[in-house]
């Protein structure tokens, strides 16, 4: 009797092992679902980051939403980058470029809702959400996930859309992970500064997220992204104008920043570090003292050469 029980036990273990092998085989593994939120109209590096993520076979991009890049300069200066500030709608320009990229790559089936056109709350603070098609689609996407899955949300600009989604539907909080580019963090003094473009464009949203209990958030401070720089002439040389998406990338430099011999690829640094964790390092650090969360993960270092090589390799595939 005991021998028969042992045979059953080992047969059961064998079936379990085979099942685990079957599920872990790459052809049957579940792709991580990712949402990208981008102030694409602001600078040129957003486009490079978006294209890199869209060409990644190991993830499933569930959406590409547009973010505003409203800032005080738009009210008092005639130019913002290559734009005339008069009548400039930052959200609409981000949306236009998102749609251009998706259409060019034959990926217009990917949801690409518009985000909010202004910050959470008001100039003096507050957490009143900015409802938008993007916030609603993020909520819908998270709610549609099977049990045990999470949506990774990468934000390249102001955090308005993801903060609004959580405020509108707090129950999505346990099913998301946020990866944000913004703020400054001094690793020597362990001091934070929110005096940075993305954060200043919606400080209320950033503070709201860092005050949440239970939010899984990783921040890439801009100092960490700084080493990833592209050379203008090398970029022109390596992009093929006969390939539409590559021409768009090169033209964006020509149109937005023709005077710059090099450009920091801030947004690509975050996307690259997310996709290739072996080429980055993280630290668990104290949150800013004014926020309620105790700790937050930050990217502390990237291998800029590896991330640059990866971008050009994947672009040509």
Lowest pLDDT segment from 57-61, 255-259, 282-286, 303-307: 255-259
What is the rounded average pLDDT for all residues in the chain? Answer: 92
Q: What percent of the chain is helix, strand and coil (3-state, nearest 5)?
A: 45, 20, 35
Write down the pLDDT at residue 135: 98
Q: For the CA atoms of 186, 192, 196, 201, what is the dihedral angle to 10 degrees?
A: 160
Write down the pLDDT at residue 81: 87
| Element housing 193 (H / E) | strand 191-193
Write down the pLDDT at residue 28: 42
Count Cβ atoms within 10 A of the Cβ of residue 254 and give its class: 0-12 exposed, 13-18 middle, 19 or more buried: middle
Q: What is the rounded distance in angstroms from the CA atom of residue 223 to the CA atom of residue 206?
A: 18
Q: What is the rounded distance in angstroms from the CA atom of residue 206 to the CA atom of residue 186?
A: 18
Q: Is 247 part of a structural domain of the chain?
A: yes
Q: For the CA atoms of 96, 99, 100, 104, what is the dihedral angle to 10 degrees?
A: 180
**Domain at 216, CATH number:** 3.90.245.10
Write down the pLDDT at residue 244: 98
Q: For the CA atoms of 31, 32, 35, 40, what is the dihedral angle to 10 degrees?
A: -80
Asked if 40 and 46 count as a contact pair (C-beta separation under 8 A), the reply is yes
- CA–CA distance from 137 to each of 3, 53, 61, 243, 293 (Å)? 57, 19, 13, 31, 27
Number of helices and strands (H, E) in the chain?
13, 13
> For the chain, how many structural domains are there in total?
1
Write down the pLDDT at residue 10: 40
Q: What is the rounded distance in angstroms from the CA atom of residue 317 to the CA atom of residue 303?
A: 22
Q: What percentage of the chain exceeds 90 in pLDDT?
A: 88
Q: Is 27 part of a structural domain of the chain?
A: no
Calculate mean pLDDT across residues 14-29. Answer: 40
Q: Is 194 part of a structural domain of the chain?
A: yes
What does the block give as tokens for 24? 């872990």
Q: Is 211 part of a structural domain of the chain?
A: yes
Longest Cα–Cα distance of the chain, Å, equals: 89
Q: How confident is the model at residue 30 (pLDDT cuts 50, 70, 90)?
A: confident
Residue range of the domain that includes 197:
33-315
Q: Is 14 part of a structural domain of the chain?
A: no
Q: Is 218 part of a structural domain of the chain?
A: yes
Q: Is 26 part of a structural domain of the chain?
A: no
Q: Is 24 part of a structural domain of the chain?
A: no
Tens of pLDDT, residue by residue over 171-210, are 999 999 999 999 999 999 999 999 999 999 999 999 999 9
Strands 151-155 and 32-38 turn out to be parallel
């Amino acid at each position: 009797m005991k021998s028969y029980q042992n045979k059953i036990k080992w047969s059961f273990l064998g079936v379990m092992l085979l099942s685990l092998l079957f599920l872990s085989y790459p052809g049957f593994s579940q792709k991580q679902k990712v949402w990208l939120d981008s102030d694409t109209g602001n600078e040129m590096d957003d486009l490079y980051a978006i294209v890199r993520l869209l060409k990644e076979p190991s993830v499933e991009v569930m959406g590409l939403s547009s973010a505003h890049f409203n800032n005080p300069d738009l009210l008092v200066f005639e130019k913002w980058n290559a734009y005339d500030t008069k009548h400039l709608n930052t959200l609409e320009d981000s949306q236009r470029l998102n749609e251009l990229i998706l259409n060019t790559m034959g990926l217009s089936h990917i949801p690409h809702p518009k985000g909010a056109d202004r910050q959470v709350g008001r100039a003096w603070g507050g957490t009143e959400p900015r409802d938008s098609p993007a916030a609603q689609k993020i909520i819908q996407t998270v709610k549609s996930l099977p049990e045990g899955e999470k949506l990774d949300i990468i934000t390249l600009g102001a955090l308005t859309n993801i903060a609004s989604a959580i405020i509108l539907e707090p129950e999505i909080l346990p099913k998301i992970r946020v990866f944000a580019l913004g703020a400054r963090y001094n690793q020597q003094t362990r001091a934070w500064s929110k005096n940075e473009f993305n954060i200043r464009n919606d400080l209320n949203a950033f503070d709201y997220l860092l005050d949440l209990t239970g939010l899984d958030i990783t921040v890439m401070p801009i100092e960490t992204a700084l080493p990833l720089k592209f050379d203008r002439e090398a970029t022109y040389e390596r992009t093929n104008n006969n390939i539409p998406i590559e021409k768009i990338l090169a033209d964006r430099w020509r149109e937005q920043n023709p005077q710059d011999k090099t450009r920091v690829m801030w947004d690509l640094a975050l996307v690259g570090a997310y996709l290739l964790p072996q080429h980055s390092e993280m630290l668990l650090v104290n949150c800013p003292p004014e926020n309620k969360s105790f700790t937050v993960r930050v990217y502390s270092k990237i291998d800029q050469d590896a991330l640059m090589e990866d971008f050009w390799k994947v672009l040509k595939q």
